[in-house]
Amino acid sequence: MVLKRTSRWRALGASVGVLSLGLALAPASAATPAHDGPEQAAVQTVAAPAGDVLKSDNIKHVANLPKQEPFNTLEAFGTDIAFKGDHAYVGNYDGFVVYDIKNPKKPSVLTQVACPGGQGDVSISGNLLFLSVDYPRTNDTCTSQSTTAADPNGWEGMRIFDVSNPAEPRYVSAIDTACGSHTNTLVPDKAGKDVYIYVSSYGPRAEFPHCQPPHDQISIIKVPLANPAEPVLVDAPVLFPDGGNPGSGTVSQTTGCHDITAFPEKDIAAGACMGDGVLLDISDREKPRVIEQVRDDVNFAFWHSATFNNEGTKVVFTDELGGGGAATCNAKTGPTRGANGIYDLTGSGDDAKLEFRSYYKIPRHQADTENCVAHNGSLIPTKDGDYMVQAWYQGGVSVWDFTDSANPKEIGYFDRTAFNPEKLSTAGSWSAYYYNGHIYSSGIQEGLDVLEINDPRTNNAKSVKFAEFNPQTQPVYQR
């Protein structure tokens, strides 16, 4: 999401978080919250989701668990999700929440870790949870205060937690990265001894000492699984030596990447990098190379995220027109802007090409008080065809078919009416992912929704089970 990630917000800093946990860099329990005085402010809490639910007949709304105190404020956005076993780890601008999803009909909050830093993108590997910090803080602890990007002593980057006991996450270590970490992508090494974290960030300015232009790069962190207290920044490769897309009035300038999705089975990754979409060779995890670069200066404003199909022969790129805070799912904006772009991946190796095939956008117009645009989603692991579930903010959750790359179509949806019918407000589904038979949606304001799709085209996916799932680290399932 681009919201609050502009240079203006980096300059001012962001006032987030009401409660913080006293977690030092040495392992410490995250079970007991404590008031963090200077961060206290009058905040508006969020009630349980109201309004009508519109949905297709093949979608069942299994459960909703509203945001819980202290994350039940308008400022505490629910964000991305990583899964392990019977638990969903959901990022939040103020930290993260661990949900028990053993019974999808009755999800519960196992624990909440207040550790402010904005965005709160999450990945998980074994007993380690990786959390992105995207707003400048006074230090790397969970008791830090917000500061400005111009602060030479400010800190942004990655925090690492031990979640071997999901009920009591323990802070392990942290490492700073240039321009912080807007998103992070876990890439396992081939020997199974380490994991790599590809950190995407952007928004440099000359007056930001830790975020200097041109910043045409990503950061690569190596985390030894046997010693996660010693993460290492191994490189910050420049992906755009020519500067990338220079941008225009409607197209973002490329000053880094927004998100990367890895496909380790084929040693490739797809990068959504503001004004550019790229295909990367990641056969050498420490030296990713751009092997294909595409642009769409007519319809794409901000290349936001990517999803492969199961064979790694297609890539769906999303365009976050309006930064996630605008109403763009309406007749005025039209069917191609703020949409997905579907590309076939042809050729192989350094000769691989991304060939554009079509756009997909939800076919249901939303109100002008509803922020709506293409956002995070994942494949549904079907036996045949290419199906995907995807979040569209207040456009809800869409299930769609891109088996025919040139003719995608929606086959199911779940959509609430406007969070605030009186004015444009930031709400809706941030991430919607299929995991072990159900769809889990992280709502910015709505909490956790659990959905089930009953459709002959997707029902066989219910038999596919993963022990661990990071949507931006795509596994291959057996057809």
Residue range 379-420, pLDDT digits in tens: 999 999 999 999 999 999 999 999 999 999 999 999 999 999
3-state secondary structure of 355: strand
- Could you tell me which residues come within 8 angstroms of residue 15 by beta carbon, excluding any fewer than 6 positions away? 39, 41, 75, 146
- Domain-embedded: residue 281: yes
What per-residue confidence (pLDDT) applies to 47? Answer: 76
Q: In whole angstroms, what is the distance from residue 469 CA to residue 83 CA?
A: 5
Number of Cβ within 10 Å of residue 262's Cβ equals 27
Strands, E, within 259-370: which ranges? Answer: 259-263, 268-273, 276-281, 289-294, 303-308, 314-319, 340-346, 353-360
| Domain of residue 434, residue span | 7-469
Asked whether 119 and 79 are in contact (CB, 8 A), the reply is yes
DSSP-derived 3-state class of residue 208: coil
In this prediction, residue 48 carries a pLDDT of: 77
Q: Would you place residue 472 in the very low, low, confident or very high pLDDT band (cuts 50, 70, 90)?
A: very high
Strands of 183-188's sheet in order across: 183-188, 194-200, 219-224, 232-235
pLDDT tens for each residue of 153-168: 999 999 999 999 999 9
Q: Per the structure block, which two tokens stand in for 432?
A: 């919607």
Rounded to whole angstroms, the Cα distance separating 357 from 359 reads: 7
Predicted confidence band of residue 43 (pLDDT cuts 50, 70, 90): low
Residue 193 falls within a domain, yes or no? yes
Q: How does pLDDT run across 265-285, given as a tens digit for each residue? A: 999 999 999 999 999 999 999
Please report which confidence band the pLDDT of residue 2 belongs to, taking 50, 70 and 90 as the band edges: low
Residue 476: inside a domain: no
Length in residues, the chain = 479
Asked whether the predicted pLDDT for residue 172 surpasses 80, the reply is: yes
Q: Decide if 72 is inside a domain.
A: yes
pLDDT at 351: 96
The domain spanning residue 341 has which CATH number? 2.130.10.10
pLDDT given at position 14: 31
Residue 67 lies in a domain: yes
Sorting pLDDT into bands at 50, 70 and 90, what band is 117? very high
Q: How many domains does one find in the chain? A: 1
Under 8 Å between Cβ of 417 and 51: yes
| Domain assignment of residue 478, yes or no | no
pTM above 0.75, yes or no: yes
Closest CA to 413 of 49, 104, 107, 53: 53
Q: Average of pLDDT values for 439-446?
A: 98
